[in-house]
Structure 1
Amino acid sequence: MPSDRGRILLVEDDPVMGGSLAQRLRLKGYGVDWAHGAAEAAAALARRLPDLLLSDLRLPDGSGEELFLAHRERLAGTPVLMMTAYAGIDQAIRLLKAGADDFLVKPLETADLLGRVEALLARRLVAPEDAVLGPSVPIRRVEAMLRRAATSDSPLLLLGETGTGKEVAARLLHALSPRARLPFIAVNCAAIPADLLESEVFGHERGAFTGAAARREGYAERAAGGTLFLDEVAELPPPLQAKLLRLLEAREFSRVGGTATLPYRARTVAATNADLDARVHDGRFRADLLYRLDVIRVEIPPMRVRPEDVVHLARHFLDNAAGRATRTVRGFDAQAVSAMEAHAWPGNARELRNRVDRAVALADGPWIGVADLFPDHRPDPTGTADATLAEVLVAAERRAVANALEATGWDVGAAASRLGVGRSTLFEKVRRLGLARPIEPGTSPASGTA
């Protein structure tokens, strides 16, 4: 049977419904493996991961929920669609919170089922070997979203902490879009003085203000039919927020001091590390502008929740820096790799690039070591290098684990997911590092749970 559209693992014990579903999916070009129970499905998952898991919740030898939870880590990035009778809706909602993608209520409508299957398969992760932004599951999800959004003209909003790579994501979106050969114009809204920002964005006519000796095209005009990237959009002053809203709604603008109306043909991509919803609530950002910018929202995860990307990015930064260096730099030694993997990277990818650039410039030999990346922990000449290195690595690991636990309120499962390790591994690290959950006032030590 053809399976070029994707392979589906169907888990359904009812022979009539299962046979009907398998037939309809195969007619649509999907490859289908049909398992009649939880054990058979588990064996199928062990043999090969499907492109989509379609499972009933009630099975003769278990449940779809148990099947999903037992294989959740391995299914990361695989769309999961659950089927349930009306009475199982609470269970289905619980599964959505645990990471499943969608659920259908029986009796099923075939058109609805096929539509959801097609939509979920369209959201498949980029294969690791094809990924541009990084190999981790969280960043591959981001890249898959950017690839889907690239063909759209709708405004896109990138959210994320400082240094996570929002402009890199915006440039990838532009490169993947039909606008790739047209300009990509980046504007840092926080770096331009407020009294010049309107002129910089919209341009001005000669004589529009003191010093305007000639007509100047603004960023909106220079973007032509390409992409206008507004970084730190939360920092726009209120008057310019109103003008940006008109630009997005009317798709036209005028230069400062001018009367002619010019068409706006670019796609708008905005980015910020601020909480725009909170700023709207505080009256510092227009709600109507947020609605216009937030048509497609993409959140860039911080480095601490995607440790698999650290060494990948570090090697990329090393290649770039080494190309500018006047001497040969071969790579990172094993201890430097371990230290990078253990570091929490509060400055995200920007911090990583800064440390790599500095290490390439100042390293004593062809191999970059821990002390080159983390000069604050340079070995004490009165001690032994091995002891100091071990101390550095343990301290870095302690920081990474403690940060993850604090960020998740000491939810060990969530913290383990952020760190990219199993629960049992994290429990062992907590024990070995001597970490303990802080006791809140009014509670006893026994009242907290790890």
Structure 2
Amino acid sequence: MPHEPFKVGLIEDDPIMGQSIVQRLEIEGWSVQWWQTGKDAIGSSSLDQTDVIVCDIRLPDMNGEEIFCSLQKKSNLQPFIFITGYAEMDQAVRLMRLGAVDYLTKPFVFEEFLMRIREYTKPRRNKGALEDVTLGVSAQMREIEATIGDYAPNDLPVLILGETGVGKEVTSRLLHKRSAFADGPFMAVNCAAIPEELLESEIFGHERGAFTGADKRHHGYAERAGRGTLFLDEIGDMPLMLQAKILRLIEDRSFYRVGGETPIRFEGRIISATNKDLIKVCQDKLFREDLYYRLAVLLLDLPPLRERPEDIVCFMDKFLKAASQRQNRHFQGFSSLTEDMALDHPWKGNLRELRNRVERGVAVGRSEFILPQDMFPDRASNGNAEEAFSPLAGIRDEAERRHIERALARTEGKIIEAARLLNVSRTTLWDKMTRLGIKSERPES
């Protein structure tokens, strides 16, 4: 199946590896600009014309990190993928935090390499002049953003599922901005926050004299949405009586104001969201099954924050910058112990809880770094700093243990697939699991 052609910038000094990558990419129909030194790449005007940059870490004149940092001054730097034959976890983490999108260890599987290039160029090509909105840097959220790009061109209803605070409204606003309805308003209704007796009037509006206190005509959210988006948040809490009218709105593309007799055309798009298991709610006869299937024509299921650790660190930095500017304070970042504690935290409130904890840390922090007791006063040790400080070897082992356990969870305990995900051999993974006391719940066949 042919893929959309694009330009790849390759910075690789090894002639054999470089030629192999060039040949394979050209077979796929993509053009490649290849430089064998960092100086040649930085000085080339062709670099700006590429859609993605693949860069080796060790080069004869400079290292890949220096190239990346020098190019970061650009306002719209291409996705940057590092490749290296000398994998180091600390280096990978540092480069990802600087803004690199991926880090691959040689030798890599070419199919996986090609898949990642397609993945990182798609959002860039679809984004155009849209404002820089991101749902996260994890593979799960990049896939969600790609799916939003697929959903954007049509007018079908979209149902967004996810726990409280996971970012359902942010996701719906991103979908609105990337859709054909972007020129219209985004009208958000919290179905759980409005009293049941007022909800119908708020959504559909009412005519003058429709009920006691209706002194004049009121245009509801559906009417004010026009050719924009009507976002029904917490749809799982909507009363059954009103659910029938939402179903009619979707099927007939029209509605009546309360007390009205003239149908009003609905020209917008409906996006709904809930933190409830609507299938179970339907089984409990609290939600109409026919409405569920009309709302869930297109589905987005947002994973909780605890299942995407890459996003935890990403949003910690993002929230720290915003909170520091708002509170007129300055911090160098988070201490390593704070980051470790954040990665271990269950985040039941997801991004909302993370933002609140970071804002608290900025408000009370007295060091140049946000410390565990600043963000997690309910968990931080009351002991002195030396007692709370762990040896470097222990921190490395704990970081490796968490990373391996996440890979095993992602692959349902399959050792071979987890090893491929971690870019190590099966034997190496077994050795690390044995040393760290990690057991696989699923035996390999």
Q: Which residue of 2 aligns with 1:279?
A: 281
Matched residue, 1:226 = 228
Deviation at 1:408, TM superposition (A): 8.0
Q: C-alpha distance in 1, partners of 2:355/2:116?
A: 33
Matches within 5 A, 1:342-421: 342-380=344-382, 383-390=383-390, 411=413
Question: Could you list the runs of 5+ residues in structure 2 that have no partner in the other structure?
Answer: 8-25, 33-55, 57-106
Q: Of residues 297, 300, 309 in structure 2, which corresponds to 1:298?
A: 300
The amino acid of 1:359's aligned partner reads G
Q: Is the contact between residue 5 and residue 31 of structure 2 (CA under 8 Å) also seen in structure 1?
A: no
Q: 1:59-208, aligned counterparts within 5 Å?
A: 75=112, 78=115, 126=123, 132-208=134-210
Which residue of 240, 245, 248 maps to 2:247? 245
DSSP 3-state at the match of 1:216: coil
d(CA) in 2 for partners of 1:313 and 1:425? 32
- Partner residue of 1:93? none
Matched residue SS, 1:213 = coil
Pairwise CA distance, 1:434: 6.2
SS at match of 1:132: coil
The 2-side partners of 1:363 and 1:139 are apart by: 31
Contact 2:401 2:436 in 1 (8 A): no
Shift of 1:354: 1.5
Aligned to 2:337, the other structure's residue is in SS state helix
How far is 1:138 from its partner?
1.0
Deviations 1:380-411 (A, max 9, x none): 2xx431332549989x9799789969988973
2:370 counterpart of 1:333 = no
Q: Is the 8 A contact 1:77 1:137 kept in 2?
A: no
Task: Provide the secondary structure at the position in 1 that maps to 2:170.
Answer: helix
Same amino acid, percent of matched pairs: 42
Contact 1:356 1:373 in 2 (8 A): yes
Distance of aligned partners of 1:177 and 1:77 in 2 relative to their CA distance in 1, 3 Å threshold = farther
Question: Given residue 265 of structure 1, which amino acid in structure 2 is its aligned partner?
Answer: E
Check whether the contact 2:305–2:351 (CA below 8 A) recurs between aligned residues. Answer: yes
CA contact (8 A) 1:410 1:437 kept: no
Structure 1 residues 449 and 5, CA, compared in 2 at 3 Å: closer, same or farther?
closer
**Worse-matched range after superposition: 187-196 or 384-393:** 384-393
1:332, distance to aligned residue in structure 2 (A): 1.9
User: In the alignment, is the contact (CA less than 8 A) between 2:188 and 2:230 conserved in 1?
Assistant: yes
Structure 1 pair 255/333, CA: closer, same or farther in 2 (3 Å)?
A: same
Contact 1:206–1:212 (8 Å) recurs in 2: yes
Q: Does the Cα contact within 8 Å between 1:76 and 1:137 map onto a contact in 2?
A: no
Which of 398-407 and 314-323 deviates more?
A: 398-407
Q: Name whichever of 222-231 and 318-327 sits farther off.
A: 318-327
Quote the residue 1:55 is aligned against. Answer: none
The amino acid across from 2:322 in the alignment is N
Question: Is the Cα–Cα contact under 8 Å of residues 192 and 237 in structure 2 kept in the other structure?
Answer: yes
For 2:367, the aligned partner's letter is G
Any idea what the Cα deviations from partners look like across 1:217-274, whole Å, max 9, x if unmatched? 1111111111111111111111111000000111111111122211111110111122
In 2, distance between residues paired with 1:146 and 1:291? 19
The 1:140/1:183 distance shift into structure 2, 3 A limit, reads: same
Query: Aligned AA for 2:385?
Result: A
Give the distance between the partners of 2:423 and 2:202, measured in 1 at CA: 47
Contact between 2:413 and 2:440, CA under 8 Å: does it hold in 1? no
Alpha-carbon spacing, 1:223–1:427, altered in 2? closer, same or farther (3 Å): farther
Q: Kindly state the Cα deviation for residue 308 of structure 1 after the two structures are TM-superposed.
A: 1.1
Say if 1:160 and 1:299, in contact at 8 Å, map to a contact too. yes
Alpha-carbon distance, 1:31 to partner:
4.5
Q: CA deviation at 1:355?
A: 0.8
SS of 2:378 mapped into structure 1: helix
Is the CA contact 1:315–1:331 (under 8 Å) kept in the aligned structure 2? yes
Residue 190 of structure 1 deviates from its aligned partner by 1.4
Instruction: Describe the SS at the equivalent of 1:269.
Output: strand
Residues in 1 aligned to 2:427 and 2:376: alpha-carbon distance in whole angstroms: 30
3-state secondary structure, aligned to 1:377:
coil
280-289 or 189-198, which deviates more: 280-289
Structure 1 residues without counterparts, runs of 5 or longer: 8-24, 34-46, 48-69, 81-120, 439-447
Distance 1:214 1:165 in 2: 36
Runs in 1 of length 4+ with deviation above 6 angstroms? 70-74, 121-124, 128-131, 391-394, 396-410, 414-417, 419-438
Kept in 2, the 8 Å contact 1:159–1:298? The answer is: yes
Q: How high is the TM-score relative to the length of structure 1?
A: 0.64
What secondary structure sits across from 1:185 in the alignment?
A: strand
